[in-house]
Structure 1
Amino acid sequence: MADPILISRLRCPECGHEEDMEMPTNACMFFYTCTGCGVRLKPLHGDCCVFCSYGTVRCPPIQEGDCCNG
């Protein structure tokens, strides 16, 4: 299996601010506060983390097929 991609670009649905972030490899990130507008993002229904909902790359646990919700 290939190594997971660790950088994802989060895009805030409120203000459109984008930020490249390194994802944790052993956990899902449930909340993120946008540095553009301050809104607190949480995963959309059915997603395990903010990267799966708002990122360009799904979280490493999902990529590896070993996620708490996957």
Structure 2
Amino acid sequence: MNKQLTATEQINQLISEYNFPLSVVEDIHYRLLCSQDEHYVQLQLRYLQNLIKYTEVERKGL
């Protein structure tokens, strides 16, 4: 069974796989506490994806 991940689950997965700066993780956490609107959560996910794509965010050595 191939389950589609929610935006929140995708955010959690990215945070567990990449070394984002602590300030970014704290900011996303605060923003998601303030609003659980699906569109807003999607914007936060896109922000993390863009950080991976356009900056030097490294993958954690698992």
Give the TM-score normalised by the residue count of structure 2.
0.25
Structure showing greater relative contact order (alpha-carbon pairs closer than 8 Å, 6 or more residues apart): 2
Q: Scaled by the length of structure 1, what TM-score is found?
A: 0.24
Q: When you count helix as a share of all residues, which structure comes out higher?
A: 2
